[in-house]
Structure 1
Amino acid sequence: MQFVRPAAVAGTFYPAKASVLRAEVARLLAGAESADEAAAVAWPKAIIVPHAGYVYSGAVAASAYALLAKGRGHIRRVVLLGPAHRVPFHGLALPGVQAMQTPLGVVAVDQAGVAALAGLPQVLEMPAAHAQEHALEVQLPFIQEVLDGVSVIPLVVGDARPEAVAEVLEKLWGGEETVIVISSDLSHYHPYTEARAIDHHTVEEILRFDPQPIEHDQACGATPINGFLPVARKHHLRPRLVDLCNSGDTAGSRDAVVGYAAVAFYGESHDHA
């Protein structure tokens, strides 16, 4: 087994120099914390966050990660799911490594969590699915800075039925020591006004646990989202929209934009954490 999965998109999606990256994540989190007004007493059980370059979606991602900061010292494990952009395959892929690397150091892969998935036929070990995949990697510096010392269970989600994703999430659900991060952008390459309408509709579907599946043209992470939402509903999580914008609001042209949302899901067991 390869020991570590090296960073693949440092220097493109986020800064490659550790000091610059740490400062950038700190800046994004500071802006998010002041904007959120500490609305929640405790931390979310799960978040949906975008995965574009930090200049485009970093502030939106930070708005959700700032909420997880309340669980620092309590959260020990992050279940991280994102869509496959590079390698097509069926099922959910583990990286087959002991750790994931970023310029900020390494994050351990939770071997107990990996072992818990060993009997599931939809879960495979596929380093190639992770090698150049950005959807999970861009989350790691936030996890490293916000939570410190946690392990991750990184799963790239290929072609899979929602029930297959849900089964994995149930295996790993855990208690307050475990949080779930779903990595997904929203609509891609529509004009600004059209994208805003599409993305508002998508977010409304997510917030009301709409039984109709989210389509892939609404969210590139539709497969992990569609697997997560029924489980979240079953566990009585309460969703809250934290932020919603698109690349036309941040660093791009408004002619063809990509949408970004941060959604936090709170559980009953965290009300008095």
Structure 2
Amino acid sequence: MNLRKSVFSGSWYPAGQGECEAQIRQFLDEGKSYPLSIDAPVGGVVPHAGWFFSGSVACNVIHRLAQGRAAEVDVVVVFGMHLHPGSARYIMPEGAWETPLGPVSVDAALAGELTRQYTFQLETPSRFQQDNTIELQMPFIRYFFPDSRVVAMGVPPAAETLALAKSVVETARDLGLSIVTIGSTDLTHYGPNYGFTSKGTGQAAVDWVRRENDRRVIDAMIRMDPEAVLREGIENENACCSGAAAAAITAGKTMGARRGEQLVYATSYDKSPGSSFVGYVGVVF
């Protein structure tokens, strides 16, 4: 198998199968307290920090997408990567992703058709950008969607990304494929480590991030406004991969979703208080 080797296993998440599975079971136990009123969600937004900080958030979103329908889903589409508005798009159109739980194969039919419609920087299992936003979701996808394939794309925060996301859904339909979509982004990166200290330090800064800056982009996600998500990420620095979140929202709307719901919100400050911290949200729609 043409396998894309994991880069972050053993550091950002466990390298062993047993360790991964035990961590996922712990995350699921935590997720029992997360209420959700949306039935059969078609997509979501997940964070991508190390599992210690945000793994529970991402795990429980992907679990909710799989509940009761994992066997029906042919392809999990993942949007991610740290890109700026002028960046190229990225895709690995064939091969498989390595995870501690086994490989996750690329759906070459869907990926191939998208590369005929749009220009991408084509990655291979041996030549790719080392980026955590997508890889950290792969063990969860393997665990909850064991029979599904993936198509993962790096998408910039630009209007063209929304057209691509709509095309992903339409192309999957044309190919007779059932999909769910995931957008991978963290929220505000605040503090001296990130060069963002406009509200000073201490509890007042933490409260501002939680109640105001992150809230603005979360509210845009919940009302499924991809253009607002793009603006928020660029203007207020409250989504490091706003293109990915906006793409997942656009795809969800194209699949018929009409509202989003926050499953859980957290920050790295919750587990490691300090002057620099990052926000995380799990949204389903």
Q: Give me the TM-score of the superposition, normalised by structure 1.
A: 0.85
Report what 1:135 is aligned to. Answer: 133
Structure 2 counterpart SS, 1:103: coil
Amino acid at match of 1:229: I
Aligned mate of 2:219, from 204, 208, 217: 204
Report what 1:21 is aligned to. Answer: 20
Distance 1:226 1:68 in 2: 18
Distance 1:178 1:163, change over 3 A: closer
Report what 1:105 is aligned to. Answer: 102
Q: Give me the TM-score of the superposition, normalised by structure 2.
A: 0.81
Residues 185, 219 of structure 1: 8 Å contact kept: yes
Distance 1:234 1:171 in 2: 8
**Displacement after TM superposition at 1:72 (Å):** 2.0
**Displacement after TM superposition at 1:220 (Å):** 1.0
Distance 1:234 1:159, change over 3 A: closer
Distance 2:162 2:252 in 1: 13
Distance 1:253 1:130, change over 3 A: farther
Residues 248, 257 of structure 1: 8 Å contact kept: yes
Residues 195, 257 of structure 1: 8 Å contact kept: no
Report what 2:165 is aligned to. Answer: 166
The answer to whether residue 242 in structure 2 is matched with residue 244 in structure 1 is no
Residues 78, 153 of structure 1: 8 Å contact kept: yes
Q: Deviations over 1:107-134 (max 9, x none)?
A: 0100111122132233331348844211
More strand by share: 1
**Displacement after TM superposition at 1:89 (Å):** 7.5
Report what 1:229 is aligned to. Answer: 249
Distance 1:244 1:38, change over 3 A: closer
Gaps of 5+ in 1: 266-273
Report what 1:79 is aligned to. Answer: 77
Report what 2:120 is aligned to. Answer: 123
Distance 2:219 2:104 in 1: 34
Q: Please tell me the root mean square deviation across aligned C-alpha atoms, in Å.
A: 2.6
Query: Within 5 Å, which residues of 2 pair with 1:145-164?
Result: 145-158=143-156, 160=158, 161-164=160-163
Structure 2 counterpart SS, 1:154: strand
Distance 1:228 1:88, change over 3 A: closer
Distance 2:223 2:165 in 1: 18
Report what 1:269 is aligned to. Answer: none
Amino acid at match of 2:264: D
Report what 1:194 is aligned to. Answer: 208
**Displacement after TM superposition at 1:31 (Å):** 2.0
Distance 1:102 1:169 in 2: 25
Aligned mate of 2:275, from 255, 266, 272: 255
**Displacement after TM superposition at 1:224 (Å):** 2.2
Amino acid at match of 2:275: D
Q: Deviations over 1:181-220 (max 9, x none)?
A: 1111111124422211211121112222344333241101
Gaps of 5+ in 2: 192-204
